[in-house]
Amino acid sequence: MLGSVALLAEEPALALTQFEQLLRRDRDNLQYRLGYAFSLALSGKTTQAQEQVEYVQKRAGKDPQPWLLYGAMMSSAGNTAAASVAYQEVLKRDSKNPFALNNLAFLLARRGEQLDRALAMAEEARRIFPRSPEINDTLAYIYLCKGMKRNAAATLEQLAACLPASRQKRTRALLERIQGGDLRSVRAEMERDNVRN
């Protein structure tokens, strides 16, 4: 679908146009509405995006996807409280959803709240997707938040081994800094990187 491709290519205006056309043909298609909502959010129209996601959430029943999208949108908009609620809603519908586990774990750790719970969620997400760079990054970050230097270093070492050579440089640099005792700035850098992503 052209709208999805445009979204992935980060062309929200084109995606918005495409999803509007799709919705004119099939107003009840929830996937089209989610695409439309995401396009609105990428275009900076967060209030309209939120309205669309809420429409889908009311009609989606036990499907966690609308809540996951809403959590990502709210997190991108800097509304971490709403994002946390959304990820908790995902986990009510799918307690093993690795994306919600990972994202909620990061938000909790970033606020310095419930670090044991955040760690348990990130570890569960990694059990589901052991080679996910994002999940391993979150896990290493939480280990740093808890002052667990060796665990953070081991996680980054495992992450580097999974990455293609072109993506290993950053991870190896973080690992060296951790081993040198520079935990605070590594943690701050990982936090900034996760917030941007």
Domains of the chain by start residue, with CATH? 96-197 (1.25.40.10)
pLDDT tens digits, residue range 117-142?
999 999 999 999 998 999 999 999 99
Q: What is the dihedral of CA 185, 187, 192, 194, to 10 degrees?
A: 160
Task: Return mean pLDDT, the chain.
Answer: 86
Give the confidence band of 6 by pLDDT, cuts at 50, 70, 90. Answer: very low
Q: What does the angle CA 18 – CA 64 – CA 99 come to, to the nearest 5 degrees? A: 90
What digits encode the pLDDT tens for the residues 77-118?
Answer: 788 998 999 999 999 999 999 999 999 999 999 999 899 999
Q: Render the burial of 77-98: b for 16+ CB within 10 Å, e for the rest.
A: eebbebbbebbebbbebbeebb
Is the model's pLDDT at 148 over the cut of 60? yes
Contacts of 91 (CB under 8 A, 6+ apart): 97, 100, 101, 104
What pTM does this model have? 0.79
**pLDDT tens by residue, 39-66:** 888 788 888 988 998 898 889 888 898 8
